[in-house]
Each structure stands twice: as C-alpha cells, then as structure tokens.
Structure 1
Amino acid sequence: MATRNVIKPFKLTTIKGVIEFDSGTQEIDDKLINHWFVKAHLEPLKAKPDEGGKGPVDPAAAEPGGDAGDDGKKSDQKGNSGPKKE
C-alpha cells in the first residue's frame, strides 16, 4: 500500500466493483497506484535531490531537442539562435 494525497475525490470502476477515494491522504493499493485515472487525481510526488546534491533537473533541459532557455527559441549546437549571418 502506498500513502498518497488525493487532490479531488473520485470513483474508480474496476471488474471487482466501484472504489471510492476521498480527498486527502489515502492508503492506495499498489495495483492501483499506477493506473492513469488514479494518477490524474493524485498530488504529484516531489522530486528528491540526487546524491550529488544538485537537486531536481529542469524537465525542459531533459527532453530530447529541448532548450533550457525560456525565450522560446531553439538554438543550434554552438548556442546560436536565429538566421545565419554570412
């Protein structure tokens, strides 16, 4: 069983019947904790810092082709953005 915080109460229909989840901290069966509908109603887990002490990684930088900058511009491998000048 996993203890997680349910943000909004919901009902999950399974082949064994309907399971009701109240809002607040709940004990959730391990078989249900990874169900997409259950996950949609849970508070996200907080990322733990890695052993190097650097803290969580920026998700934008971790995505393939992602750019950690927040100006919305993609840059080439040399860090240049925008049209090439000759």
Structure 2
Amino acid sequence: MIEHLGVEDETADWSPQALGADTLAALAMSPSEAAALATDWRALPIEQIRELRRHKNLTAHLERLIGRLRPGPTRDRLLPWIEARRLLP
C-alpha cells in the first residue's frame, strides 16, 4: 500500500515507521537466532521450521520498506533481518 498510495503521517497504519514497528513486534526471535537455527533447518522439529518460515513471511517486505524508514532504532533493528531472511527455509 505504501508503494502505491504513498506515505501517510506517522500515526497511520500504513506509514513506514508504523509498519516497521509492527514487524518488529511480530518477530519472536532475533535475526541472529533465526540465522543460527537456519544453518541446519532440515534437522529441526517441524514446529521450529514453521516458526522460521513464519519469520521469513513476516520479513518479506523489508527490502522495499527499509529505504522508506527514517534512520533510527527501528531501521537499525530491521536491517539485519534482510540478510537473515535469505538463510531461512
């Protein structure tokens, strides 16, 4: 929506900052934890593989979002997810 309709003010549900904060709130592990689990994901129990897939899906929009975020803690915390996501099943 942000790409097609533009950026709303910071309180709107479809502002880049709000989407970034919502993404962080939905993630249950850190990018380093996810990457570490992903190194041998085939040996993991199905529940952990599902959780890794969930994190991959939750971070699918980050490459397009990251350029729209202001410099700051939200952007800094999301940047490592771009690399970690590439390792997830």
Report the TM-score, using the length of structure 1 for normalisation: 0.22
Give the number of the structure whose residues are more often helix, by fraction: 2
Give the number of the structure whose residues are more often strand, by fraction: 1
**Higher-Rg member (1/2):** 1
Q: Whose RCO is larger (CA < 8 A, sep 6+)?
A: 2
